[in-house]
Amino acid sequence: MSWTRRRVEPFHAVAINRLAHARARRGLDVIHMEVGQPSAGAPRAALEAAARALHEDRLGYWESGALKERISRHYHDWYGVAVDPQRIVLTPGASGALLLAFTVLLEAGDRVALGRPGYPAYRNVLRALGMEPVEIPCGPETRFQPTAAMIERLDPAPAALIVASPANPTGTMLDRVELGELVGACRERSIALVSDEIYHGITYGSRAVSALELDAAAPVVINSFSKYWCMTGWRLGWLVAPEALVEAMNSYSGNIFLTPPALSQHAALAALDADAELAGHLVTYAANRRVVMEALRGFGITELAPADGAFYAYADVGHLTADSLEFCRQLLGDTGVAFNTGLDFDPVAGGRTIRISFAVSQQETAEAMRRFGDWLQAR
């Protein structure tokens, strides 16, 4: 028997997270800013709905029609667009939605364009499916986002383009004009557009624009309850499929996942009405963002991606290290502050960058920055 193995790239955030937990088990304290998750849990109303469902529902294989209808209303309320609930496919997180979108839209061997730095699972899942990620280096001149001109220059045209606005790790956003130009460039060259909108709702200036506002029919839009709704471990997300792909999406989804988690669907329906509580987290993120950015500048770390949204600071520390993974390991070992290396997001230049997730409390943020500053001075 012969075994073939596709190489899967490691997720360094997970390795640093393991080190951080090992440190905690030794009785040492840790400030977790290495993983991209809100430290707050699901909204109260979601927990109450889940508690009720535990008693009243048998929690079998199930897809909530009410949740699809409520998500459809969410598009009306947030973006003013009409989305037929039938086009909404519920998935285990945005991760499940990405897998589903790639599987239905693309074939093995297809080339898929994406910006670098970017969320590592895009390229790793594409590779696992036998597809070819085409990374487009994106720097500060384009706010770390791909532009329509970059897509027009790709020869041959890729089968698909993935964009995220706000993005991970930079938090930068595409405005209505930029996203509109990308939508146009994709339409022009028959490139499928996958818009990952998982950080919508977490912005610090103007609100994020959905690809569906610019083209209500063609883009595949992905979202999740993980970030704005603080429900990472509930593993629930969705995608909005173009009409012609709905049946295929549902067929594949049934085969790969059967159904999304039942308990989470009950909770998510209630979470969609919890904006008043969630607004409190946005105030915390905004305060933390200010503290982190000011502190970093004060430490002489001035090359910072403009975090228009999400809850990350992406910083160039190339003047301090050429090995940001080791830098993060040492910082964790010496101070208990866990940051992530940029290598997850940019395998080429990420050795000189770090990502700091500030979706923690204001006290933790202030303490982490104090320790980081002292540590840098003592180096």
Ligand X SMILES: Cc1ncc(COP(=O)(O)O)c(C=O)c1O
Binding site for ligand X (CB under 6 A): 36, 93-95, 119, 164, 168, 196, 198, 224, 226, 232, 237
Dihedral angle at the C-alpha atoms of 240, 112, 122, 221, nearest 10 degrees? Answer: -10
Which pair of tokens denotes residue 346?
Answer: 């940019």
The least CB distance from residue 4 to ligand X, in Å, is: 27
329/323 Cα distance (integer angstroms): 10
> With respect to ligand X, which residue has the nearer C-beta, 169 or 295?
169
Nearer of residues 94 and 101 to ligand X, judged by Cβ: 94
Query: Taking CB positions, which residue lies at the least distance from ligand X?
Result: 93
Which of 311, 285, 273, 286 is closest to 42 using CA atoms? 273
Q: What is the smallest separation between the CB atom of 156 and ligand X, expressed in angstroms?
A: 26
Question: Cα(76)–Cα(304) distance, rounded to whole angstroms?
Answer: 34
> Could you tell me the smallest distance in angstroms from the CB atom of residue 319 to ligand X?
27
What's the CA gap between 299 and 156, in Å, rounded?
Answer: 44
Q: Is the dihedral of CA 364, 366, 367, 369 positive or negative?
A: positive
Nearest distance from C-beta of residue 370 to ligand X, angstroms: 27
For ligand X, give the closer residue by CB, 88 or 94. Answer: 94
> Closest Cα to residue 194, out of 216, 220, 173?
220
Q: What is the closest distance, in whole angstroms, from the C-beta atom of residue 167 to ligand X in the complex?
A: 7
Our CB check for ligand X shows the closer of 145 and 226 to be 226
Q: Considering beta carbons, is residue 36 or 43 the nearer one to ligand X?
A: 36
Centre a 10 Å sphere on the Cβ of residue 145 and count the other Cβ atoms it contains: 23
**Least Å distance between CB 231 and ligand X?**
9
Q: Is 83 helix (H, G, I), strand (E, B) or coil?
A: coil
Q: Which residue's CB is nearer to ligand X, number 95 or number 124?
A: 95
